Amino acid sequence: MLEMKNKIKLKYDPHGDSRHAPKDTTFEEFHQANISHISDVQRVLTRLSILLDQQGKVHDWTKIRFEKEFWDDFWSTDFVNSKWYQNHVHTEKHHPLAYCHDDINLLDIIEMVVDCVCAGKARSGQVRPLEVSNEILQKALENTVKLIDTLTEVENNYERS
């Protein structure tokens, strides 16, 4: 996945959280904390959408880069064990049922779902049921948390007036 260099600055402000807000929090402080939190979430979601867009732009690049090998193995009686297919699933992360990368995240899961729905509808006219193990989903969730943690940092310049 393509990385983004600049971290998203989150504003430290405990006033919108019932577990951390000082007991003398004013309505204005509460309101500002809520506005700040909403802005933080919007900026992170925008960054994730950019990453997902970048991921879409390189979707199935191995099908084009190694198209002749793909074609040669396409007719193999053991396609899933062919050299091209194994390279494809070990290089691209949207096939976790064939090979689950250690750094799989929920963006990869979304790519897999979009891939399967589009391929099913365009090639056979139907969408087949998808099942992903809880283990894979949990790994993708944990890695997505790590990704968002890496993309963000807290600015601790809060001063109470």
Q: What share of the chain is helix, strand, coil (3-state, %, to 5)?
A: 60, 5, 35
- Residue 51 corresponds to which tokens in the numbers above? 């990453």
**3-class secondary structure, 159:** coil
Domain ranges of the chain: 8-59+94-155
pLDDT of residue 101: 98
Its pTM stands at 0.88
**Do the beta carbons of residue 94 and residue 112 sit within 8 Å?**
yes
**Do the beta carbons of residue 127 and residue 116 sit within 8 Å?**
yes
CB burial string 17-35: b at 16+ within 10 A, e below = eeeeeeeebeeebbeebee
Plot region of 33 (φ>0 → left; ψ -120 to 50 → alpha; else → beta) = alpha
DSSP states of 20-58: TS-TT--HHHHHHHHHHHHHHHHHHHHHHHHHHHHHHHT
pLDDT of residue 4: 58
* Full pLDDT tens readout for the chain, 161 residues: 445 579 999 989 898 888 888 889 999 999 999 999 999 999 999 999 999 999 999 999 999 999 999 999 999 999 999 999 999 999 999 999 999 999 999 999 999 999 999 999 999 999 999 999 999 999 999 999 999 999 999 987 655 44
